Amino acid sequence: MGVKSQNRWKIRNWIFIIFLWSHPVTSQTNQNVLKLMNDIFTNYSSKVRPMISQERPLPLDVSFYLSSINEVSEVKEKLVTTGYIMLEWIDELLRWTPEDYNYTEMIFIPQNDIWKPDLVLKNGFKKFEELGGSFYYLVIHHDGSVNWWPFHVFESRCAMDISRFPFDTQTCDIKFITWSHFVEQIEITKSSNGIQYYEYEENGVWDIVDTSSEIKKEQGESEVKFTLTLQRKPLYYVMNIILPVIFLGYLNILVFVIPVDAGEKMSFSVTVFLSFAVFLTIISTLLPTSSDNTPIISMYLIIQLIYGVIALIISAFQLRLHHRNETEEIPMFWIKVVQLQRKLRCKKTRKVVVSDSNLKENEVQKIAETCDDNREVTYVWNHVSTSIDFFAFWSFLITNIIITVTMFTVSALS
């Protein structure tokens, strides 16, 4: 071996020795950890707030990691979420020097063996429950920092504004508070993490459009509030409720197309009216009982029910007029109504004649004779019922289109 090779080998050995000296290999044993725990827990009590100076508040960092939205109940006004809370604080009574225990830098302790904050869900739907459980472990670092990750299914109250159902957006809060301690003992600090996602699974009905967190200190209490802004996916309700209701609304108008002689006017109108009543019952089961927020779709159904009642009244009145004695004199009011209806129809017919050059000569002559203003016409009660159908049909159709477009446009875009 040459001189250069020997020198190179010596240099490599020295570099390796220096590296080992600056980066010692650690292998803690159970005796190291046991000695550490005996030393730090000798005079430790989980009943004492872990501050050397009890006059200072303990900073508590709280973050929320969301896994899924299990349920948003409009009827019960309840939000059910799954996730875990990440809590971080400094336990000044649990500190050690890692070099004294074979470089042991962290240990895992059951949550009930050390002091932990009494953080509870403030707006819980059922009752206050302790976070975590006896099988949860906390991580304690050598500098006294403690990490706790209690996983939980949170059931919280959420006031629902269902006025724009099913195009609504709901804002729900999940509030946590230190129940027994005042802000002078435990001060919740605003976490830089806020609301994060942990293996989040999309909800089939709701999308999360925004999240935020806020620290509140009121009446000596320290509180953290996590806010979820949820937007409903309306496709299911559009296909199964809104479109059938709109189609029924236009079926309601067809009662004025059915001739009085057919004898089906009343039964058709009653059937459509009962269909609206069924849909109103279905929607009432989906929404909470509230007098403050009336859904637009419920108002639309009420309007359609009113239309159905008016259609029933008009149909019954028409049947009464249609079966009157033909020799009975027709009042001047109804004669003017029939004349106005005849003028409107003839005006439309003349426009068709002018625009359609394919009409035969005998058809044009027949239309001209029918719409001749000088032709003497004998009015009967059948003409009156036909005129009522004409005006009722167009009045219902125009107003129904205006109401439908206005109400659902406002609901979807506001």
pLDDT 10s digits, 401-413:
999 999 888 887 7
Q: Do residues 159 and 292 make contact, with C-beta atoms less than 8 angstroms apart?
A: no
The answer, yes or no, to whether residue 337 has pLDDT greater than 80, is: no
Rounded to the nearest 10 degrees, the angle between the axes of helix 243-253 and helix 296-322 is 20
* CA distances to 162, 274, 288, 304, 402 from 280, in Å: 15, 10, 13, 10, 21
**Over residues 296-302, mean pLDDT:** 85
Side chain identity at 205, as an amino acid letter?
A: V
DSSP 121-142: ETTBSS----SS-TT-EEEEET
142 or 377: which leads in pLDDT: 142
Q: Which of 317, 338, 316 is nearest to 386 (CA)?
A: 338
Domain residue limits, the chain: 26-233, 236-330+380-413
| Residue range 97-134, pLDDT digits in tens | 999 898 899 999 998 899 999 899 998 887 777 788 88
pLDDT band per the 50, 70, 90 thresholds, residue 289:
low
The confidence band for 359, taking pLDDT boundaries of 50, 70 and 90, is very low
CATH of domain 26-233: 2.70.170.10
Residue type, 66: L
DSSP symbols for 141-209: ETTSEEEE--EEEEEEE-----TTTTS-EEEEEEEEEESS--TTTEEEEPPSS-EEEEEEE--SSEEEE
Query: How far apart, in Å, are the Cα atoms of 392 and each of 197, 310, 323, 379, 387?
Result: 57, 10, 19, 20, 8
Assigned architecture for domain 236-330+380-413: Up-down Bundle (1.20)
Q: Give the gyration radius of the chain's Cα atoms.
A: 40
